[in-house]
Amino acid sequence: MCQSLNNVDTNSEVRYVTGGYSAGGGAILLTGATGFVGGAVLAALRARRPAALRVLLRGGFGPGSSAGATVVHGDLSKPQSLSGVCDGVDTLIHAASYVGKDQELCTAVNDQGTRHLVREATAAGVRRLVYVSTAAVYGSGPHRGPREGELPIAPRSPVSASRAAAEVWVREAGGCVLRPHLVYGPGDRWFVPALAALLAALPGWVDGGNARASMISVTDLARLTVAAATRLSVPPGTALHANHPRPVRMRDAGAALARGLGVAVPRGSASRAQVQAHFRRAGLPERQLELLTIDHWYDSTAIWQLTGCMPGPSFLEDMTHAGHWYACGMADGSISTGAGPSTGSRQFTEG
Are 136 and 157 in contact by the 8 Å Cβ rule? The answer is: yes
Query: Which of 117, 107, 30 has the alpha carbon at shortest distance from 79?
Result: 117
Give 217 or 233, the one with higher predicted confidence: 217
pLDDT in tens, 299-331: 999 999 999 999 999 999 988 666 788 888 888
Cβ burial 286-297 (10 Å sphere, 16+ → b, else e): eebbbbbbbbbb
DSSP-derived secondary structure letter, 294: S
Provide φ and ψ at 283, rounded to 5°. 70, 25
Percentage of the chain exceeding pLDDT 90? 69
Mean confidence (pLDDT) of the chain: 87
Homologous superfamily assigned to 5-181+218-245+299-311: NAD(P)-binding Rossmann-like Domain (3.40.50.720)
Bond before 142 cis per omega within 30 degrees = yes
Are 350 and 159 in contact by the 8 Å Cβ rule? The answer is: yes
pLDDT in tens, 252-279: 999 999 988 888 899 999 999 999 999 8
Please give the C-alpha separations between residue 310 and each of 50, 135, 319, 346, in angstroms, as whole numbers.
Answer: 22, 21, 18, 30
- What's the average model confidence in pLDDT over 104-125? 98
* Confidence at residue 74, expressed as pLDDT on a 0 to 100 scale: 96
| Length of the chain as a residue count | 351
Please report the sign of the dihedral spanned by the C-alpha atoms of residue 252, residue 210, residue 154, residue 6: positive
Query: Which of 131, 176, 141 has the alpha carbon at shortest distance from 351?
Result: 141
pLDDT of 1 higher than 90: no
